[in-house]
Amino acid sequence: MTAMPIPPAPAPLTAPPSGPPAIEMTDLRVDYGNCVAVDDVSLTVPPGEIFGLVGPNGAGKTSTFRVLATLMKPTYGEVRLAGIDILENPREARRIMGYMPDLAPVPSDLKVWEFLDLFAEAHGLGSAAERRQRIDEGLAEVGLTDKRTVLCKTLSRGQTQRLVLAKTLLHRPKVMILDEPASGMDPLSRRNLRLALRKLAAEGTTVFVSSHILGELAEMCSSLCVMNRGRLLASGPVDEVRRLMGRAERTLTVVVLDRAAEAAAWIARQPGTDAITTHGLRLTFRFSASQEEQAALITGLVQEGLRLSSFEEQKSTFEDILVEVAENNQTA
């Protein structure tokens, strides 16, 4: 095994589908004293995927990523990146992996290109001219070409995020681990990030990216997993996970002008309705179905001749949704 230098442009990925998964975690556990941050998580990410990790604050996203990035040893469990056992071969794993931490320290008194050059040198990316070319490519990829010669400390938060992303891309990693990369980015930067990640995935790079915002990940990922309190609650194609989470989302309240008992009986007969309570003319119930089915439910009420004076949808909190997703998953 040769350690350095890393070739600046590895051959395009031609691994057959039968090759090793890009990321393979088995029974991963991370404890901090009494706190179980990652609780026996097993997950496989195929090559070339943009795979999302969504979960609220404290879910265990950063702890998982720090283990993958070889910055922290798990309590137990096994992790392989492109077939490399990262606990046995952390140096080899680091060569093929790029990690963008959630709060990346950026030296304030270096110019943007100097900061990138430090890392380009550390990765052994060839001569000064070759490094310069790679740095310029990286800056173009994140839309920071015009900031090449400014001091890092003059960058805004979102621009700093983009600079750190450019740093993560320098050695063209096969597996990218991005911890909340879009936080602090404006909508245009987020769109550019999405496009940049898609391009990388099309070239065979695998991206594992976290956020606590489902919508943000759903826009950029092909598949997602959901984590809460250290546990993996759901994992699969974006639409499937979204459907699971969407189904758990709604409590509906209907107020009728009269015939409340009749309305309650009709609602109870409709598929997807549950836990109906009646307070006078106000009926509250859970509804586990799509938006289209919700529209059909409202139309149906009206067609029954029931007179609605108001209709309201309450969104559950993220925590409620996660609990329900976990329960649905267990019974699925």
Ligand X SMILES: Nc1ncnc2c1ncn2[C@@H]1O[C@H](COP(=O)(O)OP(=O)(O)OP(=O)(O)O)[C@@H](O)[C@H]1O
Is residue 60 a contact point for ligand X (CB under 6 A)? Answer: yes
Is residue 58 a contact point for ligand X (CB under 6 A)? Answer: yes
- Distant-in-sequence contacts of 80-86, Cβ < 8 A, 24+ apart: 80/20, 80/21, 80/23, 80/24, 81/22, 81/23, 81/24, 81/174, 81/175, 82/20, 82/22, 82/47, 82/174, 82/175, 83/19, 83/20
Which amino acid belongs to residue 253? T
Interface residue with ligand X, options 24, 41, 48, 63 (CB under 6 A): 63
From the list 30-38, 83-91, 239-247, 287-295, the region that binds ligand X by CB under 6 A is 30-38
Closest to ligand X by CB, 59 vs 244, is 59
The β-bridge relationship of strands 35-45 and 175-178 is unpaired
The number of residues that bind Mg ion (CB under 5 A) is: 3
Is residue 228 a contact point for Mg ion (CB under 5 A)? Answer: no
Shortest Å, Cβ 109 to ligand X: 28
- Kindly identify the residues of this chain, within the stretch 97-116, that bind ligand X according to CB under 6 A: 102
Q: Which secondary structure element, helix H or strand E, spans residue 161, and what is its range?
A: helix 157-169
Closest to Mg ion by CB, 228 vs 273, is 228
**Distance of alpha carbon 140 from alpha carbon 148, whole angstroms:** 10
Interface residue with ligand X, options 57, 127, 303, 317 (CB under 6 A): 57
Angle between helices 157-169 and 187-202 (to 10 degrees): 10
Closest to ligand X by CB, 57 vs 149, is 57
Which residue ranges make up the site for Mg ion (CB under 5 A)?
61-62, 102
Which residue ranges make up the site for ligand X (CB under 6 A)?
32, 35, 37, 55, 57-63, 102, 212
